[in-house]
Chains A and B, each alone.
Chain A
Amino acid sequence: MSDVTRAEVCAVACADLFAGAGEILASPMGLMPSLGARLARLTSEPDLLLSDGEAFLLDPESTVEGWLPYRRVFAVVAHGRRHVVMGANQIDRFGNQNISCIGDHARPSRQLLGFRGAPGNTINHRTSYWVPRHSPRVFVERVDVVSGVGYDHAVGPFHDVHRVVTNLAVLDFRTPDRSMRLVSVHPGVEVSEVLAQTSFPLEHNDFGETRLPTDEELELLRTVLDPAGRRDKEVPS
């Protein structure tokens, strides 16, 4: 298949977040992480568990296979068999994430959602982030509020910030000081653009190109998971 869109590259990069995950709960927040998780389950990670965003675990045929109200989500968070992909209003070079507010918390210039489950997620199990518009306003030198815990604040035995996927690139924290580094740029993206859209210095010594979807993945995305093409509204080509 041809004419692969940027959105499809992003969906596959989100699917690859779950590589090797096995039988755990995938908790994707938002469209692209959801497409990624469902794509992973239909291909490389058939054992993943996924919820309907309410209180049911659904198998790929949408058959109810379990009950997961919020209180049991919290139990899974504490138990740790979970990989959450959250959004980020701000994220910094050590992977601290802010979804609470912009400005001084005592009187913010812009109130956002609040801490939600970000502190508990990041301290308990693997966490990744999806950023649909990679920009200096999101990739900041220092977040205004630490909601999700980054590597310079990490404590306890289970902290594990895995990767950040954006509309431009894939990033991780596998550097000696656990600061962010470039893993791959999406096809058609110049590294200079990624660096220009990031407020902090980004290690980019050894990066590749994000892989293209396989024919099977494209088929699944286009005909099964997102036939209406909502992915292209989130990430225009």
Chain B
Amino acid sequence: MRDKRMTADEVVAELADGMTVGIGGWGSRRKPMALVNAILRSSLTDLTIVSYGGPDVGLLCAADKVRKLVYGFVSLDTIPYDPWFRRARETGSIEVLELDEGMFQCGLRAAGHRLPFLPIRAGLGSDVLRLNPELRLVRSPYDGEELVAMPALHLDAALVHLNRADRHGNAQYLGPDPYFDDLFCLAAQRRFVSCERIVETHELTADAPVQTLLLNRMMVDGVVEAPGGAGFTSCAPDYGRDEGMQREYAEAAGDLSKWPTFYEGYLR
């Protein structure tokens, strides 16, 4: 079996300007921040970011990496709004596809199933459809009901962070929620997982039920050992969110005079 271990910088070296990159986790929870930080340090640009957005989105906006953002929300959970995302929107510096969060999941599923779309009711009657006229309706051939034909959200690459993995790409979440990390991987051409610790395969199920194995190795191209690699977002049960660090981030993001000092310290 292949050994897929690599570094965060090697992951970023496999990405290219203009790519569509999906980022796992949810809000300020289990975000692959070590991989995001490697993007921040790189020369990558012009990315389309697909994310249930948290500080990953804010930081990538801050570093001017984002051409387009596909999202259902951007929030830091304990702090409702991300200041950098707000600034990017309020200055019109990014293109957006803003979706209902169920439509977002539906689009990932369609891509993972190699379907052009999947039907869903969410979106009907709302401004999701008015603002995004490329989203089309489809009529049920069985009873004539009109539904949203949510198009597949195809990803060039997916970045996710889990608690444990083996060197082959079998990866495990130990917290309460898998979020949508498996769907991101299934929707992507290239799939990279960072984890708190790389362990031997047999150790994965030594103390945890087999149902925690969210990703298997055919869903993963590269594995990065990155202890603390979701910080400052949460990575239960290994650690909770670093609320102090998140507050520092949000305060600096909200005050451009404080940002350069914060950002320099953050990337170091």
**Does A55 belong to the interface (CB within 8 Å)?**
yes
B77-125 at interface with A (beta carbon < 8 Å): 80-81, 85-86, 89-92, 98-103, 105, 120-125
Q: Which residue of the partner chain B has the closest CB to A152?
A: B125
**Does A21 belong to the interface (CB within 8 Å)?**
no
- The answer on a CB contact under 8 Å between B81 and A117 is no
- The answer on a CB contact under 8 Å between A156 and B124 is yes
Q: Is the interface of A mostly helix, strand, loop or mixed?
A: loop
**What residues of B have a CB within 8 angstroms of the CB of A114 in the complex?**
53, 71-74, 98
A65-89 at interface with B (beta carbon < 8 Å): 67, 69-71, 74, 77-78
- The answer on a CB contact under 8 Å between B89 and A120 is no
Of B126, B177, B180, the residue contacting A115 (CB under 8 A) is B126
**Does B26 belong to the interface (CB within 8 Å)?**
yes
Q: Which residue of the partner chain A has the closest CB to B73?
A: A114
- The answer on a CB contact under 8 Å between A123 and B73 is no
**Does A235 belong to the interface (CB within 8 Å)?**
no
**What residues of B have a CB within 8 angstroms of the CB of A70 in the complex?**
26, 177, 179-180
**What residues of A have a CB within 8 angstroms of the CB of B81 in the complex?**
111-113
| Per-position binary interface string of chain B over residues 59-79, scored 1 when its CB falls under 8 Å from any chain A CB and 0 otherwise | 000000000000111110000
Q: CA–CA, A110 to B89, complex, Å?
A: 8
- The answer on a CB contact under 8 Å between B125 and A123 is yes
Q: CA–CA, A77 to B104, complex, Å?
A: 14
- The answer on a CB contact under 8 Å between B71 and A107 is no
- The answer on a CB contact under 8 Å between A119 and B90 is no
Q: CA–CA, A78 to B101, complex, Å?
A: 12
| Per-position binary interface string of chain A over residues 94-105, scored 1 when its CB falls under 8 Å from any chain B CB and 0 otherwise | 000000110001
Q: Which residue of the partner chain A has the closest CB to B74?
A: A114
- The answer on a CB contact under 8 Å between A120 and B125 is no
Q: CA–CA, A115 to B180, complex, Å?
A: 18
**Does A135 belong to the interface (CB within 8 Å)?**
no
**What residues of A have a CB within 8 angstroms of the CB of B121 in the complex?**
78, 120, 123-124, 156, 158
Instruction: Give 9 closest A-B pairs by Cβ, nearest first.
Output: A120-B122, A55-B176, A119-B126, A114-B73, A149-B125, A111-B89, A69-B177, A107-B92, A153-B125
B binding-site residues for A, Cβ under 8 Å: 26, 53, 71-75, 80-81, 85-86, 89-92, 98-103, 105, 120-128, 130-131, 145-146, 176-180
24 pairs across A/B with beta carbons < 8 Å? A54-B177, A69-B178, A74-B102, A108-B89, A109-B90, A111-B86, A112-B81, A113-B73, A113-B75, A115-B72, A115-B126, A115-B128, A116-B72, A118-B100, A120-B122, A123-B123, A123-B125, A145-B131, A148-B126, A149-B125, A153-B125, A154-B125, A155-B124, A156-B125
A binding-site residues for B, Cβ under 8 Å: 54-56, 67, 69-71, 74, 77-78, 100-101, 105-120, 122-124, 145-149, 153-156, 158-159
17 more A-B residue pairs beyond the given contacts A112-B81, A118-B126, with a C-beta to C-beta distance below 8 A? A74-B101, A74-B105, A78-B121, A100-B98, A101-B89, A105-B98, A106-B92, A114-B74, A114-B98, A116-B73, A116-B101, A118-B100, A119-B125, A120-B102, A122-B125, A147-B126, A149-B125
